[in-house]
């Protein structure tokens, strides 16, 4: 399985697009690396770039970008609101797929050593890549910033991990490390006061604020400053004024969105701001964000309204964007800012991206795909969609307010099953194409014949497993359909009935595909096990359909 890491270098240039484009081009010159996002900020005079790829390729792309930035950016003349100490200020590597943090650390150290040695640049390790925890925190390393670095680097305590212990007036120094996924997030305030913004930042950030009396820092018995912790864990924050927008912001790093997600930070900042006579007007995302962070936010705000969370993924994102005010300063485009959307391959969604008319036309064409498997998956998606509709209508039915959470649960489950079945529409066609590709392999030599035969059998098994998944998910949807027939809005009981018919069709149609593909599979143990499982699902589906239709017909009464 392909290993993927993300790299999010921050460059001390946010105004000159000619320079920024050259740095980005240096990354893109490494084949196999994808630049997902380029986010320049004029007021901070800083650009955050997100790229992803296999580890070795990302290390090379990052090296070329750091080299180019050092050649083009002059730190001696740099001004900006964001703390910084070098042309490439910070360059973290983040594990994304099939790679551990320990492995990612090795690549970060490899990059740092290469930069220090070949570019003769002072480099500090941070976060997971730094063994000395006294200097693993980025804010501690960067304290004093570029202006104080000429003195700081002379201290034995701040000897670089790699590269010379010499102040580089043009390039400054670079911090390289490995960390978990971090969300850079700014919250907008209706004030121009940096001091007020800082007050709110200190209220919420985990480090809190230092206690002072009569302007002096209060220290404990060990001589350490006494602090009052902030209200949120895994949150770093400062306040600043952004001249470009004419407002103050709370600049936040969410270091673990499983502990403190974006929507919790937004609401807590809103509460703390209100206590200080301020108001949060919106927010701004820097770089990319995982899909789950957006859909979780959508669910959070819907639940606060006692509304069903069983809406489409796109609707959850729309609710999140509006509730968080992510469109206040510039348009928020999900296809550009959500990491899964940026990584998605359009070819994997060819069929489901079509209009209904185009899909029907494609099915009716002389092409053998999409065939019965894809159609079965789509019919199943329609069936569970009808049940989800009934759940949402019931959740919002006047007089049923005390039951909204029950129906919200079923609607949410329906949306998850619908998403799986929609994905299986293209997966089934991809399975068919995989068989065709295997048959087209060369068969001149004995070795080629063996490779071809194995490839055909592997593809055949895959073409059996996909419709079997369709059967399993479509059958699972019948629980929702039956529940909606029993307790859902009685005016929509016929919709539940049609949903049952669709689910039955999906199961039986998919089983035909399982069987016809199984006939070409030489692994009889696998075939017998699969057919036994498929027969069981089909029989249980027919029984469930009869139960649902009996309920529906009784309620219709005619």
Q: What is the pLDDT of residue 1?
A: 62
What average pLDDT does this structure show over 215-230? 84
Q: Which two tokens stand for residue 454?
A: 């194995």
* 399: alpha, beta or left? (left if phi > 0; alpha if psi -120 to 50): left
- DSSP class of 226: P
Lowest mean pLDDT among 78-82, 332-336, 498-502: 78-82
CA distances from 180 to 100, 173, 337, 366 (A): 10, 22, 18, 49
Alpha carbons 497 and 176: distance in angstroms, whole number: 59
Report the candidate in 542, 475, 476, 535 with the shortest Cα–Cα distance to residue 511.
535
Q: Other CB atoms closer than 10 Å to residue 253's CB: what's the count?
A: 17
Rg (CA), the chain: 29
Instruction: Please check the confidence at residue 56 and state whether its pLDDT lies above 80.
Output: yes
Lowest mean pLDDT among 124-128, 344-348, 448-452, 524-528: 344-348
What average pLDDT does this structure show over 41-63? 93
Lowest mean pLDDT among 61-70, 170-179, 215-224: 215-224
Active site annotation includes 78:
no
Q: pLDDT category, 211, cuts 50, 70, 90?
A: confident
What average pLDDT does this structure show over 258-286? 96
Lowest mean pLDDT among 392-406, 460-474, 492-506: 392-406
Instruction: Please check the confidence at residue 501 and state whether its pLDDT lies above 70.
Output: yes
Q: pLDDT category, 342, cuts 50, 70, 90?
A: confident
Instruction: Please check the confidence at residue 19 and state whether its pLDDT lies above 70.
Output: yes
Q: Which two tokens stand for residue 60?
A: 């090379």
Q: Compute the Cα dihedral for 515, 517, 519, 521 and give only its sign.
A: negative
Q: Compute the Cα dihedral for 379, 384, 385, 387 and give only its sign.
A: positive
Instruction: Please check the confidence at residue 213 and state whether its pLDDT lies above 90.
Output: no
Q: Other CB atoms closer than 10 Å to residue 550's CB: what's the count?
A: 11
Q: Compute the Cα dihedral for 366, 368, 369, 370 and give only its sign.
A: positive
Domains of the chain from N-terminus onward: 4-178 (3.30.990.10), 183-343 (3.30.70.670), 346-556 (1.20.120.680)
Lowest mean pLDDT among 332-336, 381-385, 396-400, 439-443: 396-400
Active site annotation includes 82:
yes
- Termini Cα distance of the chain: 57
Instruction: Please check the confidence at residue 2 and state whether its pLDDT lies above 80.
Output: no
Given 82, 263, 296, 412, which residue is catalytic?
A: 82
- Give the three-state DSSP class for 302: helix
Contact assessment for residue 310 and residue 414, using Cβ atoms and an 8 Å cutoff:
yes
Is it true that the peptide bond before 370 is cis, omega within 30 degrees of 0?
yes
Q: Which two tokens stand for residue 291?
A: 């899909």
More confident residue, 134 or 91: 91
- Give the three-state DSSP class for 426: helix
Instruction: Please check the confidence at residue 185 and state whether its pLDDT lies above 90.
Output: yes
Q: pLDDT category, 290, cuts 50, 70, 90?
A: confident
What average pLDDT does this structure show over 295-308? 96
What's the gap between Cα 188 and its chain centre? 23
Instruction: Please check the confidence at residue 258 and state whether its pLDDT lies above 90.
Output: no
- DSSP class of 305: T
Instruction: Please check the confidence at residue 249 and state whether its pLDDT lies above 70.
Output: yes
Given 39, 89, 296, 428, which residue is catalytic?
A: 428
What average pLDDT does this structure show over 456-469? 95
Lowest mean pLDDT among 15-29, 306-320, 343-357: 343-357
What average pLDDT does this structure show over 68-86? 93
What average pLDDT does this structure show over 322-334? 96
Instruction: Please check the confidence at residue 291 and state whether its pLDDT lies above 80.
Output: yes
Q: What is the pLDDT of residue 82?
A: 86
Instruction: Please check the confidence at residue 85 and state whether its pLDDT lies above 80.
Output: yes
Instruction: Please check the confidence at residue 14 and state whether its pLDDT lies above 70.
Output: yes
- The kind and range of the H/E element at 223 are none
Q: What is the pLDDT of residue 536?
A: 97
Alpha carbons 350 and 377: distance in angstroms, whole number: 15
Q: What is the pLDDT of residue 369?
A: 81
- Is the pTM higher than 0.75? The answer reads yes
Alpha carbons 386 and 394: distance in angstroms, whole number: 12
Report the candidate in 23, 28, 177 with the shortest Cα–Cα distance to residue 112.
177
What average pLDDT does this structure show over 337-352? 86
- The kind and range of the H/E element at 209 are strand 209-210
């Amino acid at each position: 399985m392909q290993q993927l890491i993300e790299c999010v270098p921050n460059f001390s240039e946010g105004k000159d697009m000619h320079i920024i484009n050259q740095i980005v081009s240096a990354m893109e010159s490494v084949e196999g690396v994808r630049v997902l996002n380029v986010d320049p900020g004029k007021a901070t005079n800083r650009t955050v770039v997100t790229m992803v790829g296999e580890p070795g390729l990302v290390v090379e792309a990052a090296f070329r970008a750091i080299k180019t930035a050092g050649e083009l950016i002059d730190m001696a003349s740099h001004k900006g609101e964001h703390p910084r100490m070098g042309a490439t200020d910070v360059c973290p590597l983040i594990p994304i797929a099939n790679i551990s943090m320990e492995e990612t650390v090795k690549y970060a150290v490899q990059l740092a050593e290469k930069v220090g040695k070949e570019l003769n640049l002072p480099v500090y390790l941070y976060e997971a890549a730094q063994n000395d925890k006294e200097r693993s925190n980025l804010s501690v390393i960067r304290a004093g910033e570029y202006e104080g670095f000429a003195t700081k680097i002379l201290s034995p305590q701040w000897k670089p991990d790699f590269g010379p212990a010499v102040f580089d007036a043009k390039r400054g120094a670079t911090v390289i490390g490995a960390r978990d996924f971090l969300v850079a997030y700014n919250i907008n305030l209706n004030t121009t006061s940096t001091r007020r913004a800082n007050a709110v930042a200190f209220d919420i950030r985990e480090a809190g604020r230092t206690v002072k009396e009569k302007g002096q820092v209060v220290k404990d018995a060990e001589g350490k400053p006494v602090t009052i912790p902030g209200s949120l864990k895994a949150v770093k924050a400062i306040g600043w004024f952004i001249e470009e927008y004419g407002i103050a912001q709370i600049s936040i790093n969410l270091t673990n969105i499983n502990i403190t997600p974006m929507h919790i930070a937004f609401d807590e900042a809103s509460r703390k701001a209100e206590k200080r006579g301020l108001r949060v007007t919106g927010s701004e995302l820097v770089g990319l964000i995982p899909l789950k962070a957006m859909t979780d936010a959508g669910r959070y705000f819907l639940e606060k309204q006692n509304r069903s969370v069983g809406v489409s993924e796109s609707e959850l994102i729309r609710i999140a964007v509006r509730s968080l005010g992510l469109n206040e300063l510039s348009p928020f485009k999900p296809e550009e800012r959500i990491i899964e959307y940026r990584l998605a391959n359009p070819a994997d969604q060819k069929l489901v991206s079509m209009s209904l008319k185009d899909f029907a036309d494609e099915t009716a064409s002389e092409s053998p795909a999409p065939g019965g498997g894809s159609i079965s998956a789509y019919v199943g998606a329609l069936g569970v969609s009808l049940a989800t509709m009934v759940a949402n209508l019931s959740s919002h039915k006047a007089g049923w307010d005390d039951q909204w959470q029950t129906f919200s649960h079923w609607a949410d489950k329906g949306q998850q099953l619908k998403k799986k079945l929609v994905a299986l529409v293209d997966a089934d066609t991809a399975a068919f194409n995989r068989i065709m590709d295997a048959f087209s392999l060369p068969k001149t030599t004995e070795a080629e014949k063996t490779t071809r035969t194995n490839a055909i059998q592997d593809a055949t098994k895959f073409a059996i497993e996909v419709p079997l998944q369709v059967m399993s998910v479509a059958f699972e949807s019948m629980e929702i359909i039956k529940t909606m027939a029993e307790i859902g809005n009685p005016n929509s009981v016929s919709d539940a009935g049609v949903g049952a018919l669709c689910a039955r069709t999906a199961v039986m149609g998919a089983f035909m595909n399982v069987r016809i593909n199984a006939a070409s599979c030489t692994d009889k143990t696998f075939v017998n096990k699969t057919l036994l499982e498929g027969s069981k699902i089909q029989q249980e589906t027919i029984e469930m359909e009869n139960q649902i239709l009996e309920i529906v017909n009784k309620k219709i009464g005619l």
